[in-house]
Amino acid sequence: MKYLDEYRDQRIAHALVAEIFQVTTRPWVLMEICGGQTHTIMRYGLDELLPRGVELVHGPGCPVCVTPLETIDKAIELALRPDVILVSYGDMLRVPGSKSDLFRAKALGADVRIAYSPLEAVKIARARPDRKVVFLAIGFETTAPANAMAAWQAKREGLTNFSMLVSHVLVPPAIRALMASAENRVQGFIAPGHVCTVMGCGEYERLVADFRVPIVVGGFEPVDLLEAILMLVKQLEAGEARLENQYVRSVSYKGTVMAQQIMAEVFEVADQKWRGLGPIPRSGLRLSEKYGDLDADRVFGLAALTVDEPAECMSAQVLQGLRKPTECPAFAIRCTPENPLGAPMVSSEGACAAYYQYRRHAKAS
């Protein structure tokens, strides 16, 4: 197939659904990792087309959702300083910290600016040498190369007024943590296509071997996801556990080498706290020592923080695939995109936001 509309073709989709019904003989629990995949599933009702026993649960695949409260609180603290320009992607502004969010900070007079590329923050720093410019660098491996390039460019230009507040997370350690959990229900994974476009799919081989869990790299259109589900069910029904790549038009085994090289130049692997999941060893990226003078934590002497999640918010269970958003008593009542209790409701890739937009009136099953 060559064109986007082919990946949304109803005839192809229904043929795949029919084959899934044909090969399924028992219940299976599958998890998609990427928030973009979650929204496609909800938008097209793919989960409602599957055999009753094939359950889709939603993992920690939204980068905004897993950014810890402490990082949001630090960003707000920096934004409220009169000498700072805080630059961020737009979907971070309504993500709740422990007491406020960046949108409210902006309303109080903080100089918070929305960027579509981290290089825009470098441009601002270049134009405003009288101000300290901080870029809120969050995300999975997908956004890490661009963020690394911004740090590399700032270092190359000698911009002493530019720094980054970094909260990068890595997918494979999160899958490992989920599989090692005593509460784990997942029997097969749809790996995130965009992340694998950068990193390749080879690093998932170890997970398959260690946990005997099938993993299929999937794309983002309905046909992509239905084909990935079919591939997983076929493996599970046959008692197999292999790494397969459904998203072959974008993902190779080794990934994008140049992107990996700039990441390795700027970042190093580190322990990382995930919102809703807690600390996961070697699951994040931080600026390397060579780029330490661009680390906002160091530049501003930010204190280490420990913040508890709101007791009413069930985002931790949602991010682990243990609950569906509609099972939360606050869903669409006390927690809405305009007034979110947790990040999964406000992010454009969050599972709660997807259910709110496409399945708001569904009853918890």
Query: pLDDT of 254-282, one tens digit each?
Result: 999 999 999 999 999 999 999 878 899 99
Q: What is the mean pLDDT of residues 337-363?
A: 85
Assign domain 1-325 one CATH number from 3.40.50.11740, 3.40.50.300, 1.10.1040.20, 3.90.1010.10.
3.40.50.11740
Q: State residue 116 phi and psi, 5-degree precision.
A: -105, -5
Summarize pLDDT for 35-49 with one digit per residue, the tens: 999 999 999 999 999
Strand, coil or helix: 344: helix
pLDDT value for 276: 79
Q: Where are the domains of the chain?
A: 1-325, 326-358
Tell me the pLDDT tens digit for each residue of 198-229: 999 999 999 999 999 999 999 999 999 999 99
Distance, in Å, from the CA atom of 37 to the CA atom of 91, rounded to the nearest integer, reads 18
- CB proximity list for 307: less than 8 A, separation 6 or greater: 68, 69, 70, 73, 97, 98
Query: Rounded distance, CA 109 to CA 302, Å?
Result: 21
Residues 274 and 272: their CA atoms lie apart, in Å, by 6
